[in-house]
Structure 1
Amino acid sequence: MKYNDIIEKMTLEEKASLMSGKDFWQTQEIERLGIDSIFLADGPHGIRRQAAAANKPGLNQGVPATCYPTAATVANSWNAELGEKVGEFLGEEAIAQNVNVLLGPGINMKRNPLCGRNFEYFSEDPYLTGKMAASYIRGIQSYGVSACVKHFAVNNQEEKRMTIDTIVDERTMREIYLTAFEMAVKEGQTQSIMSSYNKLNGTYTNEHMHLMQDILRHEWNYTGTVITDWGGSNDRVAGLRAGNELEMPTTAGETDQEIIQAVHNGEISEEILDQSVDRLLDLIYFTETKTKKDPRPFDVEKHHRVSQKVAEESIVLLKNENNILPLTFGKKVAVIGDFAKDARYQGAGSSIVNPTILDHTMECFEESGIISIGYEPGFERYGKKNQKKIDKACALAEKADAVLLYIGLDEVTEAEGLDRKHMNIPENQIELLDAISEVNQNIIGIISCGSAVEMPWIDKVKGLLHGYLGGQAGARAILRVLSGDVNPSGKLAETYPIRYEDTPSAKYFPGKEKTVEYREGMYIGYRYYDTANVNVRFPFGYGLSYTTFAYSDIEVSKDAVTFQLTNTGQKAGMEVPQLYVRCQSDQIFRPTKELKGFTKVFINAGETKTVTISFDDKTFRYFNVQTNQWEIETAEYEILIGASSADIKLNDTIFIEGTNAPIPYDKEKLPSYYSGNIKNVSQREFESLLGRSVPSPYWDRTQPLGYNDMIAQCHYAKGIFGKLLYHSIVFTHWFLRKIGKRSQANLMMMSVYNMPFRGIARMTGGIVNMPMLDGILTMVNGNFFKGIYHLTKEKVKLMKNGT
């Protein structure tokens, strides 16, 4: 241990105290030993250091900070160096705000397009996600601030996220859901990791010995700190034993006593506690040097310009019929859409940043050179229909050479704690598009949202630009692409299906009660669409440019693939060549192709560059569930170079001598997985893949409600109090939406309706403890007066103890 001399001086009580927060955002300190508290803040795409006191829970407004484009946006840049630059600027701002640990980036896979938090995640592909995450981490930690990669692991839905049990096979877990975390640890050297809320194959992730010990600590040799998601601790001693050092937020000493008692009765050894303290001290000492000694203000204007540069490189041009873009000089445009006036630039939830500056489209026109003849909102932002607004918009559109139509999803549709109900853009916006197309066919759509949407209306626009969620400077960045000042170079980091029903996980998402089954296995995103030959709206890796590129002269060696890339157009631009690998053996089922490398290249008009993409330890590997390790199959491998997963430009083959591991599967028992047609996997076949029985997906309605049951389950509670509680929450949610308080309604669903009962104790900073919670559960389960007596007695006892 690094800090054995300090730990030897600690009492058992002091050691235990370090394992939980001091308040909502800070760790505990020990003054007599010179151990300071450190500050943790949300910050996947900007610092949200809460302006309210650190002991105040909730999603309070943060101190002003630069709101950079979200991870889903930056992933479209396919530029790891740009990601590292974002990380560096995040690190600099963390220093300025005395933040030690930045809670991000989020690297969960986009298993399903409806996950409400997809705007915070990079991609549907683990390799692209891992490379971008590692770059962010290196940038953040270059300033002596710790990144905190989240949410570990297999956390891919927001609904019931604190109780849902993810059922997934080992190979899928390793290849799809853990690879990016592995890269974050090994390549990014992240100093901290946040465990997720969910269960994984029956065990909460922060108590999961296989995940936390076998894989994270032993296989990946991770020596950093693991931090619970806020309120994500179930059994504190089991979590500590698994290596989850820091519980957040504070429980006012309640779980400290659990740890002390567990050491006294031999449930956990003091040596394990010492190791946990040692790792936490390493995090404290790693981060406190610069944050304590070198706080300095950052250059607000410079960081705003960087945010704009990042947004510019992340914008994706999806359609450009008859080269309607860039806008020619002198063309008069009508600007229509509520998002043009008030930019949609970030998601909702714990990642909300209070921006230092905020650009809006209508305020940036003069410098763009684009001639605007006027603006009309055209639609109500939150979906209400308004024919007068449509009529005014059409009247303006009739006078213009072209229409810039700003559409997308609103702030309360994409939010932490909730999943989307569908993939549609609101109907009132599509009605506006339909009406405008009757009076002006030169429509350029500009989409603002952080996730994939259906586009049955795409034939009615000649140009389509996707800005995703471009941060505080995103509006100006979009205008620079529209005007041609910037040549778009973004490529989609996720597939856009034609309709939601085409999505491989559509029948298995979300888990509605106890479990969510990953029956699609490794076939998520393009891995499924390309293997099963399903047509999509836009493939993974797709994006247009104002110039053209030609690929030629592929050469494959044992270490890399090399080829020539030529800019055959009239403008300088950036292209993203993508390396995919296809194994030509059919002994072990695989997707038809998998991303194994990429690079981003700037090329002047008429120029040719030699491009090399190296192979690495992930190029040919697969996880063998029989040997329980990574193996390489002896086979011919096709090396594919493409402009997207569906646009392969060059190909060659290479023979790879593998590890000659035994074939782990019986092909006859897994026909869906060998074909890739996984839309209707039977329970029997899924159990063959898992190697065990599938647990019941339903809540047991015969048992009393307990700590890990959700408040939503009170609808079948045995006591009238529980049922009244349920109905009052449902009514309040309906009423808040009815009167337009959508954000508050969402917050109620996230922090009350879907909260397990233990969360009442874990998230209230000691105001409610577990004995008091026992009283609440007694009331819910039908013994109201006995429960209220117990609750009152325990509250009095808590107050007498001075808590």
Structure 2
Amino acid sequence: MDSALDLPAKVALLTGASMFTLRPEPAIGLPELRLSDGPTGVRGLTFSGGPAVTLFPNATLLASAWNTGTAYEVGRMLAEEASAQGIHVVLGPTINLHRSPLGGRLFEAYSEDPLLSGALAAAYVRGLQDHGVGACLKHLVANESETERHTVDSVVDEATLREVYLLPFEIAVADADAWSIMAAYNRVNGTPATEQRHVLTEIVKGEWGYRGLVVSDWWATTSTAPSANAGLDLVMPGPVGPWGDRLVDAVKAGEVDEAVIDDHLGRLLLLAERVSTPRPAREVPAPDSPARRAQLTRLAAEGMTVLTNDGVLPLRRETTVALVGRHAVDTVDMGGGSAQVNPPYQVSVAEGLTELLGDAVTVVDGVEVRERPVPAGPEFAVHPSTGEPGMRVTLHAADGSLLGERDLAATSTMIGIDDDLPEAPRAVRLSARLPRGGRMLVGGIGVGRWEVRAGGRTGRFELGLTSGDVGEAVLRPPGDTLLVDVEPGALLEAEVTLEPGGRGRYGLVARPAPEDVTEAVGRAVAAARAADVAVVVVGLTEEQETEAVDKTTLRLPGAQDDLVRAVAAAARRTVVVVNAGTPVLMPWLEQVDAVLWAGLPGQEGGHAVAAALLGDLEPAGRLVTTFPAADGASPAWSVTPVDGRLEYAEGPFIGYRGHEAGRAPAPAFWFGHGLGYSTWDYSDAAVLDDNGHQVAVTVTNTGGRTSREVVQVYFRPADERQPVRLVGWGAATLEPGQSARVEVTGDPRLRRRWESGNWVELPPDGELLLARGLGDVRATLRIGSA
């Protein structure tokens, strides 16, 4: 390597060639490597547009299965999707923890618990890498919120950093040898994550013996010598960045040793070698194939969680149902930001339940759930020439000349400004026909000066950025609308003028004008009175669950709580389905008969919810995040830095650990909670070894349905300065009346503490709790001298 390349050639390889590719180098046989975002699907090399790809259930929903086999299967499926597109590395899994329920990006991450997150991540990584595609653990480290995400300083004591926030990464490195890790945007204890020599070199590459590649988050690197010396191996994206010629100069000036460059390059070449290993050819199911549909429905349903149920679930097929709510007709299947993909279709709950029950279902759209405009859906915008769902886009230079044309399908109604144009565009023109007549909201989304025309009206508005986040124009572009009356087939035209060098995503808005809340609730109440059961689907949207923005409350947006209360007061029985990836408040909880948490269920979401409601597939999930009973009622709450600093003052007592220690009020639902569709008896619990690392218990299915039980084992140390913690779990799927002996071996990494610069094993003194979540402890076993 040293003789084949000179210093500039080596350094050139350490910055990306484009947004998602790495430079080839024929002199050493290095091919182009391709990376893709991958939290909920392999989007490919473009942020918007691009091919239709499979939309998976979100990470939190998948994690709720508490099943490493499921995580491995998802990794394998993603490897298939990546291979079909020529992608070498999938940027995932996200294994930051659910520190505060306000975190806007929690839906991409597995859980609030480091062991559960780490074990699932390791399985996911093996699923990818066993099939020749690299994984990328992200975001290292203490990156649990989005507010001021490029500059926030996460202040974490060393013991908490190692015992809690680094632990999922440690597990995934030790147990699965993840081939790459992504360094985060934030600072950690005053130092940018991309310059964290203590973390990157001393801990990850030193103590853990990590051989893989450390890549920056996109645009996270702001220094030259400090980041190179700290252990960062690759700067993304490219082709420009803070390394390049400046890093060459730093080496020549003696600020960076050339051996450091060689180490970075050696890790890059190892990654290239790993992802180039041939794998047996296997036909990849298409995103809309029957095989994928069945897999995605099953994966989504098995993570769905029954929070409460007085016997109304599963629904009987002869039941008449009033299906109510905006989330029923416009089900939210994915979060916002880099987790978004372009799926071939998305199934709503209304479609899924109607397919199974037919005329027994009456569907009523509920109250408005969004404040921001959203791109036109397939039922409201069609291509002006073909009449197929979608829109026409042309891109123009400053003199009006045509630079490029795009025909967008309904599944991709936002266009991004790409780099394959002869010059940067100064105007984008968009057009579609409105197949429905009546009163409509029409408008545009994207940064620039807009002129929108429809129904004889013209609207003009200027849309700008609202934050200093460089990604806002792509991740959360602004929008505006005007109200028009149109005939069916009316033409909607818009032109947006960009500033020089302007970038971002652009789209049309077209949707019916919002209905009055009183009228919407009244129609829902009337339908509920006429049915055997009312199913109200409520939830969050990409306005709350997205990259770059945190939540400010756990309350449901709009008048959804009022809708649930009104329906519950009128209906014979009421079931609430929560279509959200993270906790929400449920002030109506005592008024309803059942609550099913459905997560963000992916493109087969409606089919999965319907199968879960009817019991065709058991929603056997267990919560991966504690649901607080009120805003502020969790051990860690604020995600807003003070003078740039976000203090992790709760230390290791996050989530259920803090609730159990009395550092926050009792939650509405504990981590690990989930009822499934049966009941269970625990008996003959026993410790199998002297130190309490192994336990066993007999579980018996005492209900009337085949069901899956998850036996959770927690260690409560006798030392009250140490929090209770999950140390292991096991599962059994049993028919009614069947029993099984479930043995659980605790992970020894949860029986240690960091003290005075070393790992110290915790004394085996305390209690082992065998539980269905900490709100339902079934056996307590004393160990040691406790």
Please give the range of the TM-score, normalised by the shorter of the 2 chains.
0.7 to 0.9
**Equivalent residue in structure 2 for 1:250, among 224, 238, 255:** 238
Matched, 1:567 2:696: no
Equivalent of residue 11 in structure 1, options 6, 20, 24: 6
After superposition, what is the alpha-carbon deviation per residue over 1:77-120, rounded to whole angstroms, capped at 9, x for unaligned? 11111111011000111000111110011000111001100100
**Amino acid of the structure 1 residue aligned with 2:659:** Y
Superposed CA offset, 1:763-783 (max 9, x none): xxxxxxxxxxxxxxxxxxxxx
SS in 1 for 2:524: helix
Distance 1:350 1:62, change over 3 A: farther
Identify which of 520, 527, 538 aligns with 2:650.
Answer: 520
The 2-side partners of 1:458 and 1:149 are apart by 37
Paired amino acid for 2:648: Y
Q: Partners of 1:466 and 1:498 in 2: how far apart?
A: 16
Query: Which residue in the other structure is 2:304 paired with?
Result: 315
Letter in 2 for 1:38: L
Shift of 1:253: 6.6
Query: What corresponds to 1:401 in structure 2?
Result: 532
Counterpart among 550, 554, 570 of residue 419 in structure 1: 550
Cα distance in 2 for partners of 1:83, 1:373 equals 34
3-state DSSP class of the match of 1:609? strand
Of the three residues 119, 126, 131, the one matched with 2:107 is 119
Native 8 Å contact 1:441 1:460 kept in 2: no
2:316 to 325, 328, 335: 328
User: Is 1:636 the equivalent of 2:765?
Assistant: yes
Per-residue CA distance 1:271-301 (angstroms, 9 max, x = gap):
110011000011112113449x969643432
Does the 8 Å CA contact 1:96/1:295 hold for their aligned counterparts?
A: no
- Pick one of 352, 372, 376 that aligns with 2:340: 352
1:298 corresponds to which residue?
Answer: 285
Q: Which has the higher strand share?
A: 2
3-state secondary structure, aligned to 1:78? coil
Q: Of the candidates 41, 46, 49, which is equivalent to residue 41 of structure 2?
A: 46
State the alpha-carbon separation in 1 of the partners of residues 22 and 113 from structure 2.
Answer: 34
Return the alpha-carbon distance in structure 2 between the equivalents of residues 47 and 477 of structure 1: 21
Deviation per CA, 1:282-337: give whole Å up to 9, x if none.
1112113449x96964343212221111111100001112x011112311011111
My pick for the range that moved more, 356-365 or 75-84, is 356-365
Q: Matched residues in 2 for 1:135 and 1:523: separation?
A: 26
Q: Given that residues 529 and 572 in structure 2 are in contact (C-alpha distance below 8 angstroms), is that contact kept between their aligned partners in structure 1? A: no
Shift of 1:459: 1.7
Supply the distance in 2 between the matched residues of 1:635 and 1:131 (Cα, whole angstroms).
Answer: 23
In 2, Cα distance between equivalents of 1:295 and 1:275: 35
| Paired position in structure 2 for 1:91 | 79
Q: Classify the secondary structure of the residue corresponding to 1:476.
A: helix
Q: CA deviation at 1:556?
A: 0.9
Do the aligned partners of 2:162 and 2:754 also contact (CA within 8 Å) in 1? yes
TM-score by length of 1: 0.77
Counterparts of 1:604 and 1:554, CA distance in 2 = 21
Structure 1 spans left out of the alignment, 5+ residues: 1-5, 52-58, 658-803
* Kept in 2: contact 1:640–1:650 (CA 8 A): yes
Give every structure 1 segment of 4 or more consecutive aligned residues whose post-TM-superposition deviation is greater than 6 Å. none
- Contact 1:165–1:514 (Cα < 8 Å) also in 2: yes
1:615 equivalenced with 2:746 (yes/no): yes
The residue aligned with 1:577 is 711
In structure 1, what is the Cα distance between the partners aligned to 2:53 and 2:241? 33
Aligned partners of 1:48 and 1:61 also within 8 Å: no
In the other structure, the counterpart of 2:566 is 435
**Mapped pair 1:491 → 2:625:** no
AA in 1 matched with 2:714: Y
Specify the alignment match of 1:156 in structure 2. Answer: 144
- Cα 1:396–1:282 change in 2 (3 A) is same
Contact 1:95/1:296 (<8 A) preserved: no
Q: 1:183 aligns with which of 146, 171, 174?
A: 171
Structure 1's 412 and 290: CA in aligned 2 closer, same or farther, altered over 3 A? farther
CA distance in 2, matches of 1:253, 1:171: 34
Number of matched pairs: 637
Q: Report the counterpart of residue 37 of structure 1 in structure 2.
A: 32
The question of 1:129 aligning with 2:117 is answered yes
1:551 is the counterpart of 2:682: yes
Quickly say closer, same or farther: Cα 1:489–1:370, change in 2 above 3 A.
farther
- In structure 2, the residue matched to 1:596 is 727
User: Shift of the alpha carbon at 1:622?
Assistant: 1.3
How far the C-alpha of 1:366 sits from its partner, in A, is 4.8
- Give the deviation of 1:632 after TM superposition: 1.2
Deviations 1:577-627 (A, max 9, x none): 0010011135xx111x21000122111111111111013322421111x1x
Q: State whether residues 334 and 340 of structure 2, in contact with CA within 8 Å, keep that contact through their aligned partners in structure 1.
A: yes
Matched, 1:531 2:661: yes
TM-superposed deviation, 1:369: 4.0
Alpha-carbon spacing, 1:271–1:569, altered in 2? closer, same or farther (3 Å): same
User: Tell me, what secondary structure is at the counterpart of 1:541?
Assistant: coil
> 1: CA distance between counterparts of 2:658 and 2:684?
30
Matched, 1:219 2:212: no
Which residue in 1 is equivalent to 2:584? 453
Deviation at residue 454 of structure 1 after TM alignment: 1.1
What residue number does 1:725 align with? none
Instruction: Determine the C-alpha separation between the residues in 2 that align with 1:267 and 1:31.
Output: 29
Report if aligned partners of 1:134, 1:187 keep a CA contact under 8 Å in 2.
yes
CA distance in 2, matches of 1:110, 1:200: 17
Within 5 Å, which residues of 2 pair with 1:720-735? none
- Separation in structure 2 between the aligned mates of residue 361 and residue 79 of structure 1, nearest angstrom: 25
Does 235-244 or 601-610 show the bigger shift?
Answer: 235-244
**CA-CA distance at 1:367 after TM superposition:** 4.4
The one-character-per-residue Cα deviations of 1:670-726 (angstroms, maximum 9, x if unpaired) are xxxxxxxxxxxxxxxxxxxxxxxxxxxxxxxxxxxxxxxxxxxxxxxxxxxxxxxxx
Q: TM-score, normalized by length of structure 2?
A: 0.79
CA distance in 1, matches of 2:623, 2:190: 35
Change (3 A) 1:396 1:585: closer
What SS class does the counterpart of residue 555 from structure 1 fall into?
strand
Deviation at 1:441, TM superposition (A): 4.3
In 1, distance between residues paired with 2:31 and 2:750? 44
Distance 1:296 1:238, change over 3 A: farther
Q: Secondary structure at the match of 2:170?
A: helix
Aligned 8 A contact 1:370 1:483 in 2? no
1:487 is aligned with what amino acid? E
Taking the aligned partners of 1:653 and 1:91, their CA distance within structure 2 comes to: 44
Which one has a larger percent helix, Structure 1 or Structure 2? Answer: 1
